[in-house]
């Protein structure tokens, strides 16, 4: 297989919120493994992840997913794991039920869902909280549950938007261990972050600040 | 399929949770839908009962029957009987009987009215006469068994007779009194001083107004100014008008009710969707199809409408007799065992508009669900 077939390739990508451009003529390729997308708040990191996931539609350019596919509903159900900055869990369903729902949409059978649920809950230290609803969990526990939920389908594309933002070091280390050692094979993992703690992970890096000259004046102000 | 079941289960939990969180929104929808359904069903029941009452009157009169009465005095210039004058047509049956001013009595001493039948009435009488043993004259006495052979004295002469089962049309001729039916060959002698003739014209062609017009024209041309025509045309017209009013009222009330439901349910659904749109977006990000999320609101709206309609029907069924009894409707009409204005097909016919309104109320939510997930979830 051509290495580019296993990558996400963004070509001349553009996106704007109303009249405000967020991305203009952005091109990049993301290979399997961990890539940290870094940049200041508002620089377009989250937008890039949402464009790759198919949750937003680019105003220009194109995104080629591994195998040349497009970010359609089937891709979202089966191949994509996404951790949002906020609200990742259905509030009225237990952690286990949240995972089961995602597994069911991914087309996994009941046995496989149960096996993977146990695996990722254990890896993230959530076994004791599996039957609790998200409202009774702390922020860190919720974030770990969200990561477990996204990983349950062992996605080929795993996108995390500020996964450690606001988390203490202990929770952060649990997530880092998972990202460093337990990603599915050949998974393209993009982490949008400005958390310097994640720099300890072996990774490729994309500095987003260079795409946003408007914000450069903040450096001199800081 | 499992994903759909899990999602549906979650959405049902979401509905239940919202009901518990905001009972006011739930009660407002139920109350408004209940009042609307109640008013619509009440209006429909009133119109249906009015229609039923009119139908009963028309049926009593004979929905397809024209009645002509004429008193003819004796003498040389007397006119031919109506039975010979009225049109004979394949889709028209005629029964014309002349009442003679002569005394008759059966062997039990019962006074009988003497009705003379012409040959033109034989087709209409054939089924009745064929069912009885052959006899020169026939009595029709509801108090005696059909087929009974008896003696009858008419104008001092004795005749062998057979009693016939009373036909429904007898009421027209003798107000239900016992009669003796004699053929023209026998009865002609008693008609010399005149007669009172009643002719029933049964329309089987379905165009009663045209037949009535033809009869009126014929009587006018023949200068039969004393003949009186009773036709159910006016009642049929009234019935038709009532049905049109009913149709318009049903449609109008339905449209108004449907609009109110659509506005109220739609407003509440939009408010709830705004509070809940993150969850909806999260479900969509997992792959839940948008129609399933719209279905959540559809199920809720239809369920509330159905509960309100059921409650309204129950309430009206309980209040039916006291409510309409006060309006002076006869008891037979109010008997729901004989006619139920709250039968399910009738309830559906009226309240389908509410269901339609409930479904229209989903449009804003369905439209909101077109917003990309990425613009909602942070």
Q: In whole angstroms, what separates CA B295 from the centre of its chain? A: 39
Give the one of A47, A90, A110 whose C-beta lies nearest to B282's C-beta: A90
Question: From CA B62, how far away is CA B201, in angstroms rounded?
Answer: 10
Residues B158 and B254 in one domain: no
Contact list, A57 vs chain B (CB under 8 Å):
372
Question: Poorest-confidence range of B100-114, B184-198, B324-338, B352-366?
Answer: B324-338
Task: Determine the average pLDDT of the residues in B293-314.
Answer: 92
Whole domain around residue B128: which residue ranges?
Answer: 65-231
Are B10 and A55 within 8 A, CB to CB? no
User: Is the model's pLDDT at B205 over the cut of 80?
Assistant: no
Contacts of A164 (CB under 8 A, 6+ apart): A143, A171, A172, A175, A176, A193, A195, A197, A198
Residues B46 and B111 in one domain: no
Give the one of A46, A91, A101 whose C-beta lies nearest to B6's C-beta: A101
> Which of residues B213, B231, B249 is at a domain's end?
B231
The reported pLDDT for the residue numbered B276 is 82
User: Is the model's pLDDT at B14 over the cut of 70?
Assistant: yes
Residues B276 and B127 in one domain: no
Contacts of B62 (CB under 8 A, 6+ apart): B169, B172, B200, B202, B232
Q: What is the pLDDT of residues B55-89, one digit of tens each?
A: 887 777 677 888 899 988 876 566 888 888 886 77
Chain A: closest CA distance from residue B29 (Å): 24
User: Is the model's pLDDT at A215 over the cut of 70?
Assistant: no
Q: What is the pLDDT of residues B108-150, one digit of tens each?
A: 999 999 999 888 888 888 888 887 777 778 999 988 998 889 9
Give the tokens for residue B274: 């705004």
The reported pLDDT for the residue numbered A20 is 83
Q: Which residue of A has its CA nearest to B8?
A: A101
Contact list, A76 vs chain B (CB under 8 Å):
285-287
Q: In whole angstroms, what separates CA B356 from the centre of its chain? A: 27
> Which of residues B212, B231, B250 is at a domain's end?
B231
Q: At A1, is the pLDDT very low, low, confident or very high (cuts 50, 70, 90)? A: very low
Contact list, A55 vs chain B (CB under 8 Å):
285, 372-374, 377
* CA torsion, ordered B104, B106, B108, B112, to nearest 10 deg: -50
Q: At B104, is the pLDDT very low, low, confident or very high (cuts 50, 70, 90)? A: very high
Are B286 and A92 within 8 A, CB to CB? no
Q: What is the pLDDT of residues A101-112, one digit of tens each?
A: 999 989 999 999
User: Among residues B244, B102, B204, which one has the least CA distance to residue B159?
Assistant: B102
Q: Give the CATH H-level superfamily of domain A3-208.
A: P-loop containing nucleotide triphosphate hydrolases (3.40.50.300)
Contact list, A102 vs chain B (CB under 8 Å):
286
Question: From CA B341, how far away is CA B41, in angstroms rounded?
Answer: 8
Residue A206's CB is within 10 A of a number of other CB atoms, namely 18
Give the one of A46, A51, A104 whose C-beta lies nearest to B3's C-beta: A104
Task: Determine the average pLDDT of the residues in A154-174.
Answer: 90
Q: At A81, is the pLDDT very low, low, confident or very high (cuts 50, 70, 90)? A: very high
Task: Determine the average pLDDT of the residues in B309-324.
Answer: 90
* 3 state DSSP class of B315: helix
Contact list, A51 vs chain B (CB under 8 Å):
374
HSE of A86, CA atoms in CB hemisphere, 13 A: 6
Please provide the size of chain A in residues.
Answer: 222
Q: What is the pLDDT of residues B144-197, one digit of tens each?
A: 998 889 999 999 899 999 998 887 776 677 777 899 999 988 888 888 888 898
* 3 state DSSP class of A123: helix
The reported pLDDT for the residue numbered A2 is 56
Residues B31 and B99 in one domain: no
Task: Determine the average pLDDT of the residues in A4-11.
Answer: 82
User: Among residues A216, A69, A97, A217, which one has the least CA distance to residue A157?
Assistant: A69
Q: At A124, is the pLDDT very low, low, confident or very high (cuts 50, 70, 90)? A: very high
The CA radius of gyration of chain B, in Å to the nearest whole number, is 34
Residues B249 and B132 in one domain: no
User: Is the model's pLDDT at A150 over the cut of 90?
Assistant: yes
Burial class of B256 by CB neighbour count within 10 A (0 to 12, 13 to 18, 19+): middle
The larger pLDDT score, comparing residue B273 to residue A135, is at A135
> Which of residues B178, B207, B231 is at a domain's end?
B231
The reported pLDDT for the residue numbered A154 is 93
Give bridge partners of residue B92 from the DSSP assignment: B89, B203
Are B374 and A110 within 8 A, CB to CB? no
Chain A: closest CA distance from residue B321 (Å): 48
Residues B84 and B218 in one domain: yes
- Enter the ipTM: 0.82
Question: From CA B365, how far away is CA B295, in angstroms rounded?
Answer: 10
Residues B211 and B298 in one domain: no
The reported pLDDT for the residue numbered B77 is 61
**Cα distances (Å, whole numbers) of residue B60 to B53, B65, B66, B169, B200:** 11, 10, 12, 10, 14
The reported pLDDT for the residue numbered B308 is 94
* CA torsion, ordered B343, B345, B348, B349, to nearest 10 deg: -110
> What residue segments make up the domains of chain A, in order of their start?
3-208
Residues B142 and B226 in one domain: yes
The larger pLDDT score, comparing residue B38 to residue B124, is at B38
Residues B218 and B304 in one domain: no
Q: At B369, is the pLDDT very low, low, confident or very high (cuts 50, 70, 90)? A: confident
Question: From CA B235, how far away is CA B261, in angstroms rounded?
Answer: 37
Size of interface A-B (CB pairs under 8 A): 67
The reported pLDDT for the residue numbered A73 is 86
Tally of domains within chain B? 2
Are B285 and A90 within 8 A, CB to CB? no
The reported pLDDT for the residue numbered A210 is 59
| Mean pLDDT of chain B, nearest integer | 86
User: Is the model's pLDDT at A8 over the cut of 70?
Assistant: yes
Residues B318 and B208 in one domain: no
Residue B27's CB is within 10 A of a number of other CB atoms, namely 12
User: Is the model's pLDDT at B265 over the cut of 90?
Assistant: no
Residues B46 and B74 in one domain: no
User: Is the model's pLDDT at A131 over the cut of 90?
Assistant: yes
User: Is the model's pLDDT at B90 over the cut of 80?
Assistant: no
């Amino acid at each position: 297989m051509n290495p580019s077939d296993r990558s996400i390739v963004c070509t001349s990508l553009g996106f704007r919120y109303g009249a405000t451009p967020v991305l203009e003529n952005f091109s990049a390729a993301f290979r399997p493994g961990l890539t940290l997308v870094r940049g200041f708040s508002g620089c377009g990191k989250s937008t890039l992840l949402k464009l790759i996931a198919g949750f937003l539609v680019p105003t220009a350019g194109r995104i080629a997913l591994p195998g040349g596919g497009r970010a359609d509903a089937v891709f979202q159900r089966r191949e994509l794991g996404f951790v949002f900055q906020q609200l990742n869990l259905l509030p009225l369903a237990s952690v286990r039920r949240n995972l089961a729902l995602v597994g069911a949409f991914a087309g996994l059978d009941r046995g496989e869902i149960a096996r993977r649920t146990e695996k990722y809950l254990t890896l993230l230290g959530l076994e004791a909280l599996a039957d609790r609803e998200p409202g009774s969990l702390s922020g860190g526990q919720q974030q770990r549950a969200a990561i477990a939920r996204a990983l349950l389908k062992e996605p080929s594309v795993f996108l995390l938007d500020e996964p450690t933002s606001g988390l203490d070091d202990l929770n952060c280390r649990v997530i880092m261990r998972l990202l460093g050692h337990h990603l599915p094979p050949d998974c393209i993992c993009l982490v949008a972050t400005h958390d310097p703690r994640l720099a300890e992970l072996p990774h490729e890096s994309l500095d987003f600040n260079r795409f946003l000259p408007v914000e450069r004046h903040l450096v001199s102000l800081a | 399929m499992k994903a759909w079941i899990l999602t549906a289960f979650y959405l049902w939990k979401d509905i239940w949770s919202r009901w518990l969180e905001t009972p006011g929104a739930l009660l407002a929808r139920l109350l408004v839908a209940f009042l609307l359904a109640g008013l619509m069903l009440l209006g429909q029941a009133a119109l249906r009962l009015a229609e039923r009452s009119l139908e009963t009157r028309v049926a009593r009169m004979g929905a397809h029957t024209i009645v002509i009465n004429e008193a003819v005095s004796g003498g040389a210039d007397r006119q031919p009987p109506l039975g010979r004058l009225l049109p004979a047509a394949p889709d028209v049956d005629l029964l014309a009987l002349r009442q003679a001013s002569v005394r008759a009595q059966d062997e039990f001493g019962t006074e009988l009215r003497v009705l003379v039948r012409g040959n033109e009435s034989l087709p209409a009488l054939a089924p009745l006469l064929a069912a009885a043993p052959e006899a020169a004259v026939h009595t029709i006495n509801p108090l005696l068994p059909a087929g009974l052979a008896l003696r009858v004295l008419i104008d001092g002469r004795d005749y062998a007779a057979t009693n016939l089962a009373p036909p429904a049309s007898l009421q027209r001729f003798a107000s239900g009194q016992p009669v003796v039916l004699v053929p023209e060959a026998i009865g002609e002698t008693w008609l010399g001083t005149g007669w009172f003739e009643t002719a029933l014209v049964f329309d089987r062609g379905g165009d009663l107004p045209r037949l009535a017009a033809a009869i009126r024209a014929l009587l006018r041309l023949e200068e039969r100014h004393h003949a009186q025509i009773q036709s159910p045309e006016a009642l049929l017209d009234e019935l038709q008008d009532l049905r049109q009013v009913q149709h318009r009222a049903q449609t109008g009330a339905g449209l108004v009710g449907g609009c109110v439901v659509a506005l109220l349910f739609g407003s509440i659904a939009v408010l709830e969707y705004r509070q809940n749109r993150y969850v909806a977006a999260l479900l969509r990000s997992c792959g839940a199809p948008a129609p399933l999320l719209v279905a959540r609101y559809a199920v809720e709206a239809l369920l509330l409408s159905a509960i309100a309609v059921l409650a309204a029907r129950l309430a009206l069924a309980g209040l039916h007799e006291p409510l309409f009894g006060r309006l002076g409707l006869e008891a037979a009409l109010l008997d729901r065992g004989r006619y139920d204005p709250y039968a399910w097909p009738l309830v559906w016919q009226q309240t389908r508009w509410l269901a339609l309104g409930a479904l229209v109320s989903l449009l804003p939510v369905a439209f909101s669900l077109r917003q990309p997930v990425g613009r909602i979830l942070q």
